[in-house]
């Protein structure tokens, strides 16, 4: 009788465990239906963790809130893969090779660039501007998780006058959702004449965005227009854990329009 009771207890425990697992799977399925992007993020993190796997910021550690809050952080799986905005990787590496000690990130969001730059340049200071308080809080948390919070200075809106008076040469990454013409005026362009910039262009908001930015910097800089290029999920063996639809979600950068950037590099100083 005792042996029978023990077997019943064991089977009951196994049944309870199976029911819990079924409930977890049902919850995951519900989440996938409501927001497949969040489910893809969570599934990827379950398999591979929160560390960026490749690209200029390989080794950067995200935190859980970035995975489950698409309103605060987008393209998380693409960032973890290291393919987010990979069109910019050569320009980022060239700018880092110049040895800047000051970086500026306008539109820092959760801190992928701000924290990544601080990690790549251990003696640098990063000025990160983000108008959304919750995103600033998340950026601060990610900076803390990577041990660079003392070198990432967070603020809200970037004041054009601040850029016009910035004393240091810098590398700036600017994504201000259509405000680039107002932010990067003639005075700012003149002050940044020896600095590198990557500016996300928003001609779909202001048709003059790209031509105006390039004209303002063309006297002192070489200006390269960089168009977005297609992603192919088959390039990433990590995505074999997904079906084909979720593979495409994983590498998506959630762009409503074709994207283009201006990579702005100082011209060599003329020899006398």
Which one has a higher pLDDT value, 10 or 235? 235
Residue 240 pLDDT: 94
Q: Write the burial class of residue 87 (CB in 10 Å: 0-12 exposed, 13-18 middle, 19+ buried).
A: middle
Q: What residue ranges do the domains of the chain occupy? A: 1-33, 83-266
- SS3 breakdown of the chain: % helix, strand, coil, rounded to 5? 50, 15, 35
171-174 and 152-155 beta bridge pairing = unpaired
pLDDT in tens, 166-180: 999 999 999 988 789
Give the position of tokens 């859980």. Answer: 64
pLDDT at 272 over 60: no
Residue 73 pLDDT: 86
How many Å is the maximal CA-CA distance in the chain?
A: 101
User: Is residue 261 helix, strand or coil?
Assistant: strand
Which one has a higher pLDDT value, 204 or 109? 109
Tokens representing 42 are 């969570």
**Domain 83-266 = CATH 3.40.50.150:** yes
Best CA proximity match to 263, nearest among 105, 126, 92: 92
Q: pLDDT grade, residue 128 (50/70/90)?
A: very high
Residue 12 pLDDT: 74
pLDDT in tens, 242-269: 988 899 999 988 776 778 999 999 998 7
Q: Is 224 left (phi over 0), alpha (psi -120 to 50) or beta?
A: beta
pLDDT at 270 over 80: no
Which one has a higher pLDDT value, 11 or 131? 131
* Rounded mean pLDDT, 216-238: 93
- Contacting residues for 189 by C-beta, under 8 A, at least 6 apart: 216, 217, 220
Residue 164 pLDDT: 95
pLDDT in tens, 50-72: 999 999 999 999 998 888 888 88
* Mean pLDDT, all residues of the chain: 90
User: Is residue 157 helix, strand or coil?
Assistant: coil
Q: pLDDT grade, residue 34 (50/70/90)?
A: low
Q: Percent of the chain, pLDDT > 70?
A: 92
């Amino acid at each position: 009788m005792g042996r029978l009771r023990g077997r019943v207890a064991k089977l009951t425990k196994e049944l309870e465990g199976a029911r819990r697992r079924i409930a977890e799977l049902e919850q995951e399925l519900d989440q996938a239906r409501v927001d497949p992007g969040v489910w893809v993020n969570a599934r990827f993190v379950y398999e591979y963790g929160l560390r960026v796997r490749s690209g200029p910021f390989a080794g950067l550690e995200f935190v859980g809130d970035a995975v489950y809050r698409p309103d605060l952080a987008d393209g998380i799986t693409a960032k973890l893969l290291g393919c987010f905005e990979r069109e910019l990787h050569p320009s980022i590496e060239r700018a880092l090779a110049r040895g800047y000690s000051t970086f500026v990130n306008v539109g820092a969001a959760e801190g992928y660039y701000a924290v990544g730059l601080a990690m790549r340049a251990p003696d640098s200071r990063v000025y990160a501007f983000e108008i959304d308080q919750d995103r600033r809080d998340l950026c601060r948390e990610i900076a803390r998780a990577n041990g660079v919070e003392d070198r990432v200075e967070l603020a809200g809106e970037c004041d054009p006058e601040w850029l016009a008076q910035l004393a240091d040469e810098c590398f700036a990454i600017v994504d201000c959702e259509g405000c680039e013409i107002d932010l990067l005026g003639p005075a700012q362009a003149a002050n940044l004449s020896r600095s590198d910039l990557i500016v996300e262009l928003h001609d779909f908001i202001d048709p003059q965005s790209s031509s105006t930015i390039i004209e303002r910097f063309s006297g002192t800089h070489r200006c390269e227009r960089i168009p977005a290029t297609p992603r192919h999920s088959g390039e990433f063996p990590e995505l074999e854990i997904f079906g084909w639809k979720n593979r495409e979600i994983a590498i998506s950068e959630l762009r409503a329009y074709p994207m283009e950037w201006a990579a702005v590099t100082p011209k060599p100083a003329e020899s006398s």
